[in-house]
Amino acid sequence: MMGNTSVRRATLLVGATALIAGSVAACGSSAGSGSGSGGQTLTLYNAQHQQTTDAITAAFTKATGIKVRVVNDSEDVLTAQLEQEGGRSPADLFYTENSNWLQQLNTKGLLAKVKPATLQAVPRRDSAANGDWVGVSARISALVYNPSKISAAQLPTSILDLADPKYRGKFELAPSETDFWPLVSSVAKAKGNPAALTWLKGMKANVGGNDNIPDNETLTSDVSRGTTDFAVINHYYFYRLQAELGAGKVHAKLAYFTAGDPGYVKAISGVAILKSSKHQAAAQKFVQFMTSSAGQSVLAHGDGFEYPLKAGVAANPKLPPLTSYRPNAFDPADLGTGLNAKTLMQQAGLL
């Protein structure tokens, strides 16, 4: 989810990125400008971090001559907007942090097929089973903790332990943060809805008034400052805070649940083409670029600290190898649309 802290950092880069993209187009130096696509402008609804998207769109425009107009908002807001707009949407593409929003649009029949060659660029299980969207990057759920407040040995080994009364008052929760929803879907998939609801109610009792944290940036910062002992985040928020403040100024560490635990999730960020797009060929080029070595390298060398999915493209060297993690076996299709997770959190009083 694009938290407030992330948005503030990103706004400093938006103007500069627009100037760079405009200069590249004006110079006519793009590698693909002779393909007949130059001069077109795609509209991208973006729910990813703005820094990541700005870097990718600037590189795409430089490579193809195709401009990209970016509309930024949260995943839930843009998904609802696309459903309301339907075939009248001005959007050509939708880029999300989490797969469940793409799955939701997929079930509504609003997405176009991604070209098979593009789908083959990344692992098959990381994209839509029917080829209506393609995976771009991966994130791993993690525990961020302050070792001066709680030791590694005292941390929960399962996400289900967060309902244990012994952790009352020791962690914060950001249930409106859409990164949390795949974890709820994972618990419901593994244990069933009744057990998931009981777990959510137990967590709400344990966090008390600390269940309204706005985003993962705030959770990570609060743990580092000692405001709370630990929190569940996606791994890259920790590395982003280190990059922002300096590693020596971040007083936190990462830990992970037991291998295969419902809370140990590999979350997929992906991109889709709207079926209603009037620029299908150009949109296909954008999606192909995002999964190509060039596009994946932009992602890997940026400040997003996400894992590229294309084989042979190395992640940021500060990150452990993606193969070193032991998440559960659920793929995006297993985690579904996220609507069940939303319903369960509403029933538990967390939303």
* Separation between Cα atoms, residue 157 and residue 171, nearest integer Å: 14
Buried b / exposed e over 209-223, threshold 16 CB at 10 Å, is ebbebebbbbbbbbb
* Separation between Cα atoms, residue 251 and residue 281, nearest integer Å: 48
Q: Please check if 167 is assigned to a binding site.
A: no
Q: What is the 3-state secondary structure (H, E, C) of 17-58?
A: HHHHHHHHHHHCCCCCHHHCCCCCEEEEEECCCHHHHHHHHH
3-state SS, residue 161: helix
Question: Nearest 5°: CA angle at 326, between 123 and 306?
Answer: 55
Q: Please check if 237 is assigned to a binding site.
A: yes
Structure tokens at 100: 């469940």
Helix extents (H) in the chain = 4-27, 50-64, 75-85, 99-107, 116-119, 181-191, 193-207, 216-225, 235-245, 280-291, 293-301, 332-335, 339-347
End-to-end CA distance of the chain: 15
* Separation between Cα atoms, residue 262 and residue 185, nearest integer Å: 9
Is the CB of residue 277 less than 8 Å from the CB of residue 91? yes
Q: One-letter amino acid identity for 350?
A: L
Q: Please check if 325 is assigned to a binding site.
A: no
**Which burial class, exposed, middle or buried, applies to 248 when counting CB atoms under 10 A from its CB (0-12, 13-18, 19+)?**
exposed
Binding-site positions for Fe cation: 49, 97, 236-237
Binding-site positions: 49, 97, 236-237
